[in-house]
Amino acid sequence: MSSEALRHVWLLEGLDDDQLDALSAFTFNKTFRSGELIVEEGHTDNGLYVVVSGEVEVIKGLETDRPQVLNRLGAGDVFGEMALLGEWPRTATVRAVDDVECLGIDRWVFLAQLERQPQVGIKMLHILAQKLRDSDARLME
């Protein structure tokens, strides 16, 4: 199940089955109750989550008088991918709408796996470069 869930992560889309299986060995399952904050805007966190079941909402400015729900995510959706690569503050809060089960992968475990399988990092660089190129092209339109 975990390697199949990782297949939905855009950052890992170029990995083959063996590479995904190797990464999935280091994933963890975590359950969140309705209303529970999974990640908080402005805080640093160290990994990504794939929603296995339930629904979450992505909220900008939760602590302000005008919070905005930016998105709702359900089974198969992913959030926090960039936390795998660096220790940047979260750009939004993610809150469980109902009881949610997630598959997670920790940055430190992920980076250690990249040291053992550097070809995974090379594939990820290609994916990131393509995303950046696509983003630049959209800005030029």
Domain that holds residue 64: 2-134
Whole-number percent of the chain with pLDDT over 90 = 38
What's the whole-model pTM score? 0.82
Spatial contact of 96 and 35, defined as CB atoms under 8 Å apart? yes
User: Is the residue at 8 inside a domain?
Assistant: yes
pLDDT-derived band of residue 136, with 50, 70 and 90 as boundaries?
A: confident
How many Cβ atoms sit within 10 Å of the Cβ of residue 73?
19
Q: Is the pLDDT higher at 60 or at 5?
A: 60
User: Is the residue at 69 inside a domain?
Assistant: yes
pLDDT-derived band of residue 87, with 50, 70 and 90 as boundaries?
A: confident
**CB crowding 77-105: b at 16 or more within 10 Å, else e:** ebbbbebbbeeeebebbbbbbeebebbbb
Total domain count for the chain? 1
DSSP class of residue 83 equals G
For 46-79, the pLDDT digits (tens) are 888 999 999 999 999 998 999 999 999 999 888 9
**CB under 8 Å to 98, separation ≥6 — which residues?**
34, 54, 55
Q: Look at the block and give the residue holding tokens 């475990």.
A: 109
The CATH number assigned to the domain holding 130 equals: 2.60.120.10
User: Is the residue at 123 inside a domain?
Assistant: yes
pLDDT-derived band of residue 88, with 50, 70 and 90 as boundaries?
A: confident
User: Is the residue at 141 inside a domain?
Assistant: no
pLDDT-derived band of residue 1, with 50, 70 and 90 as boundaries?
A: low
Measured distance CA(121)–CA(111) in Å, rounded: 9
